[in-house]
Structures are given as structure tokens and as C-alpha cells.
């Protein structure tokens, strides 16, 4: 079947993809959560599949927070961490995702009593298992939980420097952006240390706050890519800077609507970001909890934002080029995208 006769849905399914913005706990699908719930029964998460599916259907942001906290409570051992990673890899591989940079918040696992070396061993094992059994490459971004301030920054960078997984490529920060200013110096110090060790600076910024957070990510944290960044359009000088420097933005449309940062998909700023010539990538963030997938985000781009095959392929290429893949890895996926067109 040629691309001319292929439906847009079939084209999206066949499109080789790269995922750059997806969180470990937030990506736990029903089968993975069911496995963990049966491993650790007696908590708030149902062990019956039908009840779990009802519990796991995203309804609103408070429900998302409840589900996220409940799933986090199931991650008690390094084996659980590995189960989550493999589950995410399995779900992405089924969508023709070739490579993922998976955001891990190791400080939360440390607080649960897991030793750093054991966490790292589980992460390394999961990468090998995903590659050998699923054919998908998994890399990691270590993420500071912003709400934990300096303590979270120190714990995260210590893990990244003293016990890094083999596939660790980046260093980030997430959580509620409004809590960051009092801890600015601690976050800057952590990012400086991570960058000095060769890790890429990949912070979240401009999702819950305005352009000032994006500027701080660029100037204070040395950002090489921005998670979300949707508020950049409020600052013409920032838009010009992002356009001129080709700094990639990890845009997650369904997530922005579900968390109330954008009123609806039709009002999402992604089309305007493209019109402004910004370097946009498409991502899923916490897909099962937001009722989406990476494939689903590409369908939104086609059905809601009106992108054609060339536009969708351009987004897929952007993700490859913004990734931490080596040269041969990039060329292989870019070649497959071109072959599909």
C-alpha cells in the first residue's frame, strides 16, 4: 500500500516514532499495575482487572493525583522498578516506538528505602530486557522532584554521579514549578554537576508558570531541551530566542488539557508554535493516566490540528533529531521515516 492510498490512521501506526517526554510511574498501564497490585495486595489499588480498569480510567486531575499516588505506593522494590520500565517499553514498542528517553525520579525510590546501586541494577537489567525481547532502545533521564527542594536535588545528582545507569543520558527537574524559586541555587548547582559529568540538561519548564521559568531553565540550568514550554508564546523575545537557537520543546497536548493548563485540544498552542517556526516534538507524558498514547497524540495532531502526512513525519523527525541517540541510531530511524513517505 502506498502512502497515497494509506489512511492517515494507518500512516500514523506505521510511522517510526521516538518518545522524549514520558514518566515511569505515570506510564504504568493496566497490565503493569495489575502485576504490581497482585505482588503487593492489601492497598488501595484493586487486584481485579475489571475493578482496576474502572479505577484507572482518568476522570479529572484529582483522580489523576489519586491514581498516581496509589501506583507510586506499589513501587517498593528494585524488581518493581524493573517491571515498570519493561511495561513502558512493551507499550511503546507496540506503537512502533523505536527509542524512548524515560524520565525516572530516583529520589522517590530512595525515600522508599531502595539503595541506589539496587535501583541502578534494576534499570540496567530492564534496558537489556527491552532491547533483547522487544527491540526498543531505552535511555533514562534522572528527574529532580521539585517539591523536595535542595534535598531532592542533592539526592538525585548524587545518584546520577555515583551510581548512574549505563543508559543515563540526561538530567531534569519536574513537579510543581511554582515551588522552585526558593531553591534556585541548589537546582543550579545540581544541574551544573550533572552537565559537568556529561549529562544533557532536560528540565520541565513553562507548563504551570510563565516564560520566566523557561528563561531560568535556559540561563540557569543550561537547558538543551525544554519539557512542555507552552507558555513561551507569552514572550515574543523568548519565542525569537527559541526559534533562533532551535531549542527543542517537548509538547504534550492531552496532558496539558487534562491538568488544566489548556482549556481544550482545539485551543492548544501547538499549531501556533509550529507557525512561529519553533522546534516542536510530540510526546505523551503520563499516557494511561491521561487516557492517551504517543500514537494518540499523533492522531490529535492530524485530526484536531490538521497536520498532513508530511507534517506528522516532520514531528517524528524532530523527536529523532532532539534525542540523545548516536549518529547511526538517528540515521536508521530517519531513514525509515523517509522510506514510509
Task: Give me the active site residues, please.
Answer: 207
SS3 218: helix
Helix (H) or strand (E) holding 217: helix 211-219
The answer to whether the CB of 301 falls within 8 A of the CB of 311 is yes
The answer to whether the CB of 235 falls within 8 A of the CB of 211 is yes
Cα 260 to its chain centre, rounded Å, is 18
Q: Radius of gyration (Cα) for the chain, nearest Å? A: 19
The answer to whether the CB of 83 falls within 8 A of the CB of 42 is no
**How many other C-beta atoms lie within 10 A of the C-beta of residue 245?**
10
Alpha carbon distance 193, 172 (integer Å): 12
| 97-104 β-sheet, strand order | 17-23, 97-104, 137-145, 168-174, 200-201
Alpha carbon distance 325, 99 (integer Å): 8
All three cell numbers of 289 = 493516566
CA distances from 326 to 105, 197, 267, 321 (A): 24, 18, 36, 10
Alpha carbon distance 324, 139 (integer Å): 8
Q: Classify the C-alpha dihedral 160-165-169-171 as positive or negative.
A: negative
Q: Classify the C-alpha dihedral 14-17-21-24 as positive or negative.
A: positive
Amino acid at each position: 500500500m502506498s502512502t497515497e492510498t494509506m489512511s492517515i490512521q494507518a500512516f500514523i501506526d506505521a510511522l517510526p516514532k521516538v518518545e522524549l517526554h514520558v514518566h515511569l510511574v505515570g506510564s504504568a498501564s493496566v497490565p503493569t499495575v495489575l502485576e504490581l497490585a497482585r505482588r503487593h495486595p492489601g492497598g488501595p489499588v484493586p487486584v481485579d482487572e475489571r475493578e482496576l480498569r474502572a479505577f484507572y480510567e482518568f476522570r479529572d486531575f484529582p483522580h489523576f493525583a489519586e491514581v498516581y499516588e496509589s501506583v507510586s505506593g506499589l513501587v517498593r522494590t528494585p524488581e518493581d522498578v524493573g517491571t515498570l520500565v519493561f511495561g513502558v517499553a512493551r507499550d511503546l514498542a507496540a506503537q512502533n516506538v523505536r527509542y524512548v528517553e524515560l524520565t525516572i525520579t530516583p529520589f522517590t525510590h530512595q525515600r522508599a528505602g531502595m539503595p541506589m546501586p539496587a535501583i541502578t541494577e534494576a534499570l540496567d537489567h530492564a534496558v537489556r530486557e527491552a532491547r533483547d525481547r522487544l527491540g526498543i532502545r531505552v535511555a533514562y533521564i534522572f528527574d529532580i522532584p521539585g517539591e523536595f527542594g535542595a534535598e531532592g536535588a542533592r539526592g538525585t545528582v548524587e545518584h546520577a554521579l555515583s551510581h548512574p545507569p549505563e543508559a543515563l543520558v540526561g538530567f531534569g527537574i519536574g513537579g510543581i514549578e511554582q515551588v522552585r524559586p526558593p531553591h534556585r541555587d541548589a537546582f543550579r548547582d545540581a544541574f551544573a554537576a550533572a552537565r559537568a559529568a556529561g549529562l544533557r540538561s532536560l528540565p520541565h519548564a513553562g507548563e504551570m508558570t510563565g516564560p520566566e521559568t523557561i528563561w531560568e531553565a535556559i540561563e540557569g540550568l543550561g537547558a538543551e531541551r525544554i519539557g512542555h514550554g507552552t507558555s513561551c508564546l507569552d514572550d515574543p523575545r523568548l519565542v525569537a530566542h527559541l526559534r533562533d537557537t532551535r531549542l527543542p520543546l517537548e509538547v504534550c497536548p492531552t496532558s496539558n488539557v487534562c491538568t488544566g493548563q489548556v482549556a481544550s485540544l482545539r485551543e492548544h498552542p501547538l499549531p501556533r508554535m509550529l507557525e512561529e517556526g519553533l522546534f516542536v516534538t510530540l510526546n505523551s507524558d503520563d499516557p494511561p493516566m491521561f487516557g492517551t498514547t504517543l500514537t494518540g497524540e499523533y492522531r490529535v495532531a492530524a485530526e484536531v490540528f490538521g497536520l498532513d502526512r508530511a507534517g506528522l513525519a516532520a514531528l517524528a523527525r524532530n523527536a529523532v533529531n532532539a534525542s540523545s541517540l548516536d549518529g547511526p541510531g538517528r540515521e536508521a530511524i530517519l531513514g525509515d521515516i523517509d522510506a514510509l513517505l
